[in-house]
Chains A and B, each alone.
Chain A
Amino acid sequence: MKLTLKVWRQQDPTSPGKFVTYEARDIIPEMSFLEMLDEVNEGLLARGEEPIAFDSDCREGICGTCSMVINGLPHGGQKATTACQLHMRLFTDGETITIEPWRARAFPVVRDLVVDRSAFDRIIQAGGFVSVFTGGTPDANLIPIGKPDADLAMDAAQCIGCGACVAACKNASAMLFVAAKVSHLGILPQGRVEKDRRVLRMVQAMDKEGFGSCTVTGSCEAVCPKEISLRFIARMNRDYSVSLLKGGE
């Protein structure tokens, strides 16, 4: 296959960026999307040019490192798939593909397709945990948890923190990410103790980082590689209101 790529190139956080066009030749259907970019980069290096910088690590869809908007859709739009798991058999010979970084005020560009997502870490630091110390915990089977609750908590806990939800949202809202963690911990008895405090602090941290508001259009759910449900946002909104009514912390 031969493809035309329009790739966002940006030297550093402060320089202006622009699209640059490259040709990708000898691409085979078995390649992953990132392996296709590896090949393009090998070609750039051979010509003495700087390769396209992009983030990736596990390349099996679980670490949440890869982050690029492909043809306008975060991770390329294949259902429940991260960019690293996207394969070239989904593209056709001669196609033009546009590749951009996540775009959100809270995720500044580091270089080319690489962005800084440390805002997510700071939101977790504000309350995305259960306050237990190592040691001194009761036997694991002393806390029975019904299978439906355990399964629901796991549905929320699967979030890989990639930020596709923010990239898809017209307001760059981080509600799906925050709701996933608030729900994971809030559903379980271990996390219920500090439920009120957690949701208030995490929402406050989210606002402080400059993420936008949620208008429940559902674009986040549509692109989420782990299919985190929009219902968790509804759940968090309820938790948040209850917490406010109770007078906060």
Chain B
Amino acid sequence: MTRMKLDSQIPSGPLAEKWDKHKFDLKLVNPANKRKFEVLVVGTGLAGASAAATLAELGYSVTCFCYQDSPRRAHSIAAQGGINAAKNYKNDGDSVHRLFYDTIKGGDFRAREANVHRLAEVSVSIIDQCVAQGVPFAREYGGLLDNRSFGGAQVSRTFYARGQTGQQLLLGAYQALSRQAGLGSVKIIPRTEMLELVVVDGHAKGIVVRDMATGAVSSYAGDAVVMATGGYSNAFYLSTNAVGCNVTAAFRAYKKGAAFANPCYTQIHPTCIPVSGDHQSKLTLMSESLRNDGRVWVPKQKGDKRRAGDIAESDRDYFLERKYPSFGNLAPRDISSRAAKEACDEGRGVGPGGLGVFLDFSDSIKRLGEDKIRERYANLFEMYERITGENAYQMPMRIFPAVHYTMGGLWVDYNLMSTVPGLFVLGEANFSDHGANRLGASALMQGLADGYFVLPYTIGHYFATNKVARPTASHAEFRAAEEAVRARIQKLLTIKGKRTVRSFHRELGRLVWDKCGMARNEKGLKEALRRIPAMREEFWSNVTITGSGESLNQTLEHAGRVADFLEFCELMCLDALTRDESCGGHFRTEHQTEEGEARRDDENFSFVSAWEYQGLDQQPVLHKEPLVYEGVHMSQRSYK
């Protein structure tokens, strides 16, 4: 295989001027020529829909794909709390530089500085854009926009639309996309999944997809491929992601030469509804915004089985307030999750199996009245009651951490292009902006920044500087890729074993949750690396799938995704083993301070890990992109 070279393409010049300078340096495509370029966009969440709509507005010919039955259902829709922007409407000391700094620090100094600064710069335009589209953000009585606070920040910079911010932002992007579809400049192909990336003469030139309703496998050729296919949280089986979310598109691109960066960086969200049993198919998040008014606690005594209301104030441990007095219940996600795990590991957890902590609103209800709490969080309290049957106005919620977001993803340069020229990767699917831990309300910001304000500039430069003709979809590479897809489907259907896809997925998820979840160590990771190949082997000889490949077959779809997770999890554990330090969400128990906080090793691990595929059962090659900071001083993160 050719030796991969990582060139981050970070522009020269002072940090705050890089993006402006770069925009001027980028080559342009003449308006009349844009329609000659065919762009394939995979995924229609915030990043994909905003990119597809904007590229079409610019005049490119766009085709976009999603596995859902409509672009409006992509999982961005489930984001509850809000979106950050450095507007400083509250006059509380916010600025582009502060948002940039909070994000870099929140990511435990493992994100690429230039990308994060650009993100903070364009954050203000995102709010303007969304308001112009008619996104109904929360307002003050004077008619101006309202803000709330989120974890890891001491300013109020989060814009929100009740508890449904992701929904409203996605509908804004979906409507912009629909407008272009109505004008005929975008073709939308729903209920279709990407199963192969096609590379011709070293450039990404198309994809192979399967129509999930008819089973038809077909090829699409383009001048560039844009992947906005989300994260890989469902590798853990139980996560807050939609049940259809998967790593397949990203993993197929990895196998075709796109480097996979920092796969071990996963975010465990502290406030989710605890698991109730083996039947569980997904976990439900309770918005971080609840920590504005809820206090997190466990009993001081081990094994205290009394009802919350019977436990006296003096017998309670408000552990976040105790350990992190200046941020209190709004400590960042990785830190709050670990603190909850620690309490449960000590035997002080509450609820079935002792895997839960209380999130208690009684003080806020006493102070503000139940009506005020209802006004702020009614939909979340209702959701909690529907799932648990408990009324959180009368007794504390029980919460527990769950996998929620993945900071790792395909490696991209400053232009959001992967190591395969012509393949661009946006949103959660790339790795660049959140380092080892993402702050709340930053995922929506990044998805829309990439789609509305970054890719539309950088993709033009690729077209203007790479004159590579678009092959037709009958090119030999396409035929070979289609054959590979069909053969794999056929192979899955002919195994006819004894175990269901779900049982494999559950087993794999439990293993990586135990060994590569909130806390990791060498022994556990090595055990996982030993067990995953055996599990994969059993899958390929003993999985059972009924039905055919020629019609809607949800078991077959799930099987294809689990097959990829079974390979991907090995990469994730290998990355976690190789990164012999703790940082953000990656907590190696061997590397902690006396207070149990993550201890980074900047001298040896201040780099991005980018893995290059070498073939099944071959160790991938690790490439390192050094992380250099000009605008910030790397420090021990403290929220005390």
Cα distance A11–B548 when bound, in Å?
A: 11
Stretch of B140-148, B393-401, B482-490 that contacts chain A:
B140-148
Cα distance A137–B453 when bound, in Å?
A: 13
Q: Give, as a whole number of angstroms, the nearest-CB distance from B96 to chain A.
A: 15
Cα distance A57–B67 when bound, in Å?
A: 10
- Cross-chain contact B551 with A63 (CB below 8 angstroms): no
Say yes or no for A69: interface residue by CB 8 A criterion.
Answer: no
- Cross-chain contact A154 with B162 (CB below 8 angstroms): yes
- Cross-chain contact A158 with B176 (CB below 8 angstroms): no
Interface string of B119-152 (1 = CB under 8 A from A): 0000001011111111011111111110000000
Q: Give, as a whole number of angstroms, the nearest-CB distance from A107 to chain B.
A: 11
Say yes or no for A34: interface residue by CB 8 A criterion.
Answer: yes
- Cross-chain contact B72 with A121 (CB below 8 angstroms): yes
- Cross-chain contact A28 with B178 (CB below 8 angstroms): no
Interface of A is mostly: loop
Nearest CB in chain B to that of A126: its residue: B182
Cα distance A53–B72 when bound, in Å?
A: 21
- Cross-chain contact A190 with B171 (CB below 8 angstroms): no
Q: Give, as a whole number of angstroms, the nearest-CB distance from B495 to chain A.
A: 13
Q: Give, as a whole number of angstroms, the nearest-CB distance from B59 to chain A.
A: 11
- Cross-chain contact A129 with B175 (CB below 8 angstroms): yes
Say yes or no for B469: interface residue by CB 8 A criterion.
Answer: no
Say yes or no for A143: interface residue by CB 8 A criterion.
Answer: yes
Interface string of B3-33 (1 = CB under 8 A from A): 0000000000000000000000000000000
Say yes or no for B477: interface residue by CB 8 A criterion.
Answer: no
Q: Give, as a whole number of angstroms, the nearest-CB distance from B439 to chain A.
A: 21
Interface string of A14-50 (1 = CB under 8 A from B): 0000000000000011111011001100101110111
Cα distance A117–B213 when bound, in Å?
A: 13
Cα distance A191–B555 when bound, in Å?
A: 43
Report which of B54, B134, B382, B456 forms a contact with A191, defined as CB distance below 8 A: B134
- Cross-chain contact B89 with A62 (CB below 8 angstroms): no
Q: Give, as a whole number of angstroms, the nearest-CB distance from B545 to chain A.
A: 8
Say yes or no for B282: interface residue by CB 8 A criterion.
Answer: yes
Cα distance A154–B171 when bound, in Å?
A: 12
Report which of B129, B140, B145, B171 forms a contact with A135, defined as CB distance below 8 A: B129
- Cross-chain contact A132 with B133 (CB below 8 angstroms): yes
Q: A30-B276, A146-B139 are in contact. Are A57 and B546 (CB under 8 A)?
A: no
Cα distance A157–B169 when bound, in Å?
A: 11
Q: A30-B276, A58-B75, A62-B78 are in contact. Are A50 and B547 (CB under 8 A)?
A: yes
Q: Give, as a whole number of angstroms, the nearest-CB distance from A163 to chain B.
A: 10
- Cross-chain contact A59 with B554 (CB below 8 angstroms): no
Say yes or no for A81: interface residue by CB 8 A criterion.
Answer: yes
- Cross-chain contact A87 with B551 (CB below 8 angstroms): no
Interface string of A135-147 (1 = CB under 8 A from B): 1011111011111
- Cross-chain contact B89 with A117 (CB below 8 angstroms): no
- Cross-chain contact B179 with A131 (CB below 8 angstroms): yes
Cα distance A193–B243 when bound, in Å?
A: 40
Q: A62-B164, A147-B143 are in contact. Are A134 and B54 (CB under 8 A)?
A: yes
Say yes or no for B188: interface residue by CB 8 A criterion.
Answer: yes
- Cross-chain contact B143 with A145 (CB below 8 angstroms): yes
Interface string of A51-62 (1 = CB under 8 A from B): 101011111111
- Cross-chain contact B128 with A35 (CB below 8 angstroms): no
Stretch of B257-265, B383-391, B524-532, B592-600 that contacts chain A:
B383-391
Say yes or no for B61: interface residue by CB 8 A criterion.
Answer: no
Cα distance A153–B78 when bound, in Å?
A: 19
- Cross-chain contact B145 with A141 (CB below 8 angstroms): yes
- Cross-chain contact B142 with A184 (CB below 8 angstroms): no
In the bound complex, residues from chain B placing their C-beta under 8 Å from that of A62 are 77-78, 164, 167
Report which of A63, A131, A144 forms a contact with B78, defined as CB distance below 8 A: A63
Size class of the B contact interface (CB-based, 8 Å): 35 or more
- Cross-chain contact B242 with A63 (CB below 8 angstroms): yes
- Cross-chain contact A137 with B132 (CB below 8 angstroms): yes
- Cross-chain contact A157 with B386 (CB below 8 angstroms): no
Q: A31-B279, A144-B144, A147-B139 are in contact. Are A137 and B129 (CB under 8 A)?
A: yes
Stretch of A108-116, A213-221, A233-241 that contacts chain B:
A108-116
- Cross-chain contact B132 with A53 (CB below 8 angstroms): no
- Cross-chain contact B282 with A85 (CB below 8 angstroms): no
> Which chain B residues (16-62) contact chain A, with CB distance < 8 Å?
50, 53-54, 57
Q: Give, as a whole number of angstroms, the nearest-CB distance from A206 to chain B.
A: 14
Say yes or no for A128: interface residue by CB 8 A criterion.
Answer: yes
Cα distance A65–B72 when bound, in Å?
A: 10
Interface string of A84-99 (1 = CB under 8 A from B): 0111010000000000
Interface string of B212-230 (1 = CB under 8 A from A): 0100000000000000000
- Cross-chain contact B456 with A118 (CB below 8 angstroms): no
- Cross-chain contact B279 with A35 (CB below 8 angstroms): yes
- Cross-chain contact A161 with B70 (CB below 8 angstroms): yes
Q: A121-B70, A150-B139 are in contact. Are A190 and B281 (CB under 8 A)?
A: no
Q: A34-B281, A130-B134, A147-B141 are in contact. Are A50 and B213 (CB under 8 A)?
A: no
Q: Give, as a whole number of angstroms, the nearest-CB distance from A6 to chain B.
A: 21
Cα distance A140–B132 when bound, in Å?
A: 7
Q: A31-B279, A111-B551 are in contact. Are A38 and B127 (CB under 8 A)?
A: no
Report which of B243, B389, B452, B502 forms a contact with A42, defined as CB distance below 8 A: B502
B75, B132, B383 — most chain A CB neighbours (10 Å): B132
Q: Give, as a whole number of angstroms, the nearest-CB distance from B375 to chain A.
A: 11
Cα distance A63–B67 when bound, in Å?
A: 13
In the bound complex, residues from chain B placing their C-beta under 8 Å from that of A48 are 544, 546
Q: A35-B281, A51-B546, A87-B386 are in contact. Are A158 and B164 (CB under 8 A)?
A: yes
Say yes or no for B618: interface residue by CB 8 A criterion.
Answer: no
Q: Give, as a whole number of angstroms, the nearest-CB distance from A232 to chain B.
A: 14
Q: A58-B242, A139-B128 are in contact. List 20 more A-B contacts (CB 8 A).
A: A34-B281, A38-B279, A42-B503, A51-B555, A60-B282, A60-B383, A61-B383, A62-B78, A65-B68, A85-B386, A117-B70, A121-B71, A125-B178, A125-B181, A128-B175, A129-B179, A130-B175, A132-B133, A147-B139, A150-B137
**Nearest 3 A-B pairs (CB), nearest first?**
A144-B143, A129-B175, A137-B132
What are 21 A-to-B residue pairs whose CB atoms are below 8 Å?
Answer: A28-B279, A29-B389, A31-B277, A31-B279, A38-B502, A39-B279, A42-B503, A59-B281, A60-B282, A60-B284, A62-B167, A63-B78, A85-B386, A85-B387, A110-B213, A128-B178, A134-B453, A137-B132, A139-B128, A140-B128, A158-B164
Interface residues of A (CB under 8 A from B): 11-12, 28-32, 34-35, 38-39, 42, 44-46, 48-51, 53, 55-65, 78, 80-81, 85-87, 89, 110-111, 114, 116-118, 120-121, 124-135, 137-141, 143-147, 150-151, 153-154, 157-158, 160-161, 184-185, 188, 190-191
Interface residues of B (CB under 8 A from A): 50, 53-54, 57, 68-73, 75, 77-78, 87, 89, 125, 127-134, 136-145, 161-162, 164, 167-168, 171, 174-176, 178-179, 181-182, 188, 190, 213, 242-244, 276-277, 279-282, 284-285, 382-383, 386-387, 389, 452-453, 456, 500, 502-503, 544, 546-547, 551-552, 554-555
